[in-house]
């Protein structure tokens, strides 16, 4: 099946299952994969390790220019604290512009890509033939986060995890530049009552339809 230059855009709030779904789709359709959240996390991590404040815009711009998408270390960047810091860095439009350019460049490489984030369908790849918007209730997302933390041998307090998720949602949805929202032509998938296999099956139906439409065109 033809997938050349094919882009799948996945957006949604933290803990909705975007990362797992993106990986499954990239494997299945043999597309490149970019977790764009890591780019914001990498900038935040660089500032924190250099002892710089997250609102130092020129330092954040320099860090953003230096990010190498191929060298982002998921283990270092995946902590809860880095995610929180990333959402503070992500409010700066000039930092976003630098990272969005890199993300678009990645998306343009053959054979195509799955990108997940907050603004993929609205800003980064507005012409993507498939746009998915994943949601789940805050309580479901908080329970998933707890399970992830516990699976790594850690401990967390449910009320705190829930409060963090709600605060991050409101920062991501409320910012002026590129707020988190579904694109007008996005397919909404509510994963509250769905496991990953069901979400994957639902997404494949949508992707297969888009691929069939391309083949005909």
Q: Does 43 bind ligand C5P (CB under 6 A)?
A: no
| Cβ-count burial 189-204 (b if 16+ within 10 Å, e if not) | bebeebeeeebbeebe
For residue 36, the minimal CB distance to ligand C5P (Å) is 4
Which residue in 72, 80, 186 sits closest to 126, CA to CA? 186
Which residue in 9, 14, 12, 22 sits closest to 196, CA to CA? 22
Q: Give 6 or 40: the residue with its C-beta nearer to ligand C5P.
A: 40
**Quick one: DSSP state of residue 15?**
T
**Angle value at C-alpha 185, between 94 and 38, nearest 5 degrees:** 40
User: Helix (H) and strand (E) counts for the chain?
Assistant: 9, 5
Give the chain's largest Cα–Cα span: 55
Stretch that binds ligand C5P, among 54-62, 82-90, 106-114, 137-145 (CB under 6 A): 82-90
Distance CA 54, CA 33 (A): 27
Using alpha carbons only, how large is the chain's radius of gyration in Å? Answer: 17
Scan residues 136-175 and list those touching ligand C5P (CB under 6 A): 168, 172
Scan residues 90-119 and list those touching ligand C5P (CB under 6 A): 90, 117-119
Q: Give 71 or 205: the residue with its C-beta nearer to ligand C5P.
A: 71
29 within 8 A of 36, measured Cβ to Cβ: no
Q: Does 41 bind ligand C5P (CB under 6 A)?
A: yes
Q: Give 43 or 207: the residue with its C-beta nearer to ligand C5P.
A: 43
**Of residues 83, 112, 121, 138, which one binds ligand C5P by CB under 6 A?**
83
Q: Give 86 or 113: the residue with its C-beta nearer to ligand C5P.
A: 86
Q: Give 21 or 172: the residue with its C-beta nearer to ligand C5P.
A: 172
Q: Does 36 bind ligand C5P (CB under 6 A)?
A: yes
Q: How many residues bind ligand C5P (CB under 6 A)?
A: 14
**Of residues 29, 40, 106, 133, which one binds ligand C5P by CB under 6 A?**
40
**Tokens 């860090």, residue?**
63
Tokens of 83: 């995610």
- Contact footprint for ligand C5P (CB under 6 A): 14, 36-37, 40-41, 83, 86-87, 90, 117-119, 168, 172
């Amino acid at each position: 099946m033809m997938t050349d230059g094919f882009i799948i855009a996945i957006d949604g709030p933290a803990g909705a299952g975007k990362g797992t779904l993106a990986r499954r789709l990239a494997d299945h359709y043999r597309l490149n994969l970019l977790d764009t959240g890591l780019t914001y996390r990498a900038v935040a991590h660089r500032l924190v390790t250099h002892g710089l404040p997250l609102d130092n815009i020129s330092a954040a711009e320099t860090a953003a220019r230096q990010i190498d998408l191929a060298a982002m270390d998921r283990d270092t960047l995946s902590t809860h604290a880095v995610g929180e810091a990333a959402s503070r860095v992500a409010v700066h439009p000039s930092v976003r512009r630098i990272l969005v350019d890199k993300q678009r460049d990645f998306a343009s490489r053959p054979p195509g890509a799955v990108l997940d984030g907050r603004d993929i369908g609205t800003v980064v790849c507005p012409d993507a033939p498939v746009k998915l918007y994943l949601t789940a209730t805050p309580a479901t997302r908080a329970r998933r986060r707890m399970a992830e933390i516990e699976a790594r041998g850690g401990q967390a307090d449910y009320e705190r995890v829930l409060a963090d998720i709600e605060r991050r949602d409101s920062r991501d949805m409320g910012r002026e530049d590129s707020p988190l929202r579904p694109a007008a032509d996005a397919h909404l998938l509510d994963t509250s009552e769905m496991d990953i296999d069901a979400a994957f099956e639902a997404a494949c139906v949508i992707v297969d339809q888009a691929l069939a439409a391309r083949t005909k065109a």
